[in-house]
């Protein structure tokens, strides 16, 4: 399993997930740069993602929804801030109200920083989400963010091996 560490710090308002992949940085980057590959791993098993927009550049916007086994759709967006191809990118990640992808004011938004670094034999990925408040972080923790993210990230190995 790629996820090797998960830490949350309510004082710093951060959730940090570390994963190690047996693939070069360029290959791991491709997973996030290609919406069709990203759809195969974004979201836990049973909740496939569909990316409607995928503009991975500074100022770009990415919109997607995940579909539950019962057919319910959960909408979200990324507003891309910085891109450091192939070593990472930063974006604001939020929940959307519906298929208009308007932000849901009742749910937290996070500043996410994804970084990919070469390691001996592969890539270490570090995913850091920073929330506006400890309460916002606690809300996503209570919603199952650690479990869902871990399940989703652990799917990346199979895609990289294919």
Task: List, in order of start, the domains of the chain with CATH numbers.
Answer: 3-161 (3.30.530.20)
Q: What's the start-to-end Cα distance of the chain, in Å?
A: 16
Burial class (CB in 10 A: 0-12, 13-18, 19+), 60: middle
Q: What is the pTM of this model?
A: 0.94
pLDDT in tens, 49-96: 999 999 999 999 999 999 999 999 999 999 999 999 999 999 999 999
pLDDT in tens, 86-144: 999 999 999 999 999 999 999 999 999 999 999 988 999 999 999 999 999 999 999 99
Nearest to 122 by CA among 31, 50, 26: 26
CA 15 from chain center: how many Å?
Answer: 12
- DSSP-derived secondary structure letter, 149: H
């Amino acid at each position: 399993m790629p996820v090797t560490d998960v830490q949350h710090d309510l004082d710093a308002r951060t959730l940090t997930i570390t994963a190690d992949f047996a693939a070069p940085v360029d290959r791991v980057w491709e997973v996030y740069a290609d919406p069709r590959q990203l759809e195969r791993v974004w979201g836990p098993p049973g909740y496939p993602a569909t990316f409607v927009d995928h503009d991975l550049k500074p100022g770009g916007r990415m919109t997607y929804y995940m579909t539950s086994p019962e057919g319910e759709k959960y909408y979200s967006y990324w507003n891309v801030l910085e891109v450091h191809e192939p070593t990472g990118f930063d974006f604001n990640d939020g929940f959307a109200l519906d298929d208009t992808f308007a932000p849901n004011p009742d749910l937290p938004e996070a500043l996410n920083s994804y970084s990919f670094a070469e390691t001996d034999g592969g890539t270490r990925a570090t995913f850091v989400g920073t929330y506006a408040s400890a309460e916002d972080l606690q809300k996503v923790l209570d919603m199952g963010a650690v479990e869902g993210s871990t399940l989703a990230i652990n799917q990346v190995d199979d895609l990289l091996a294919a």
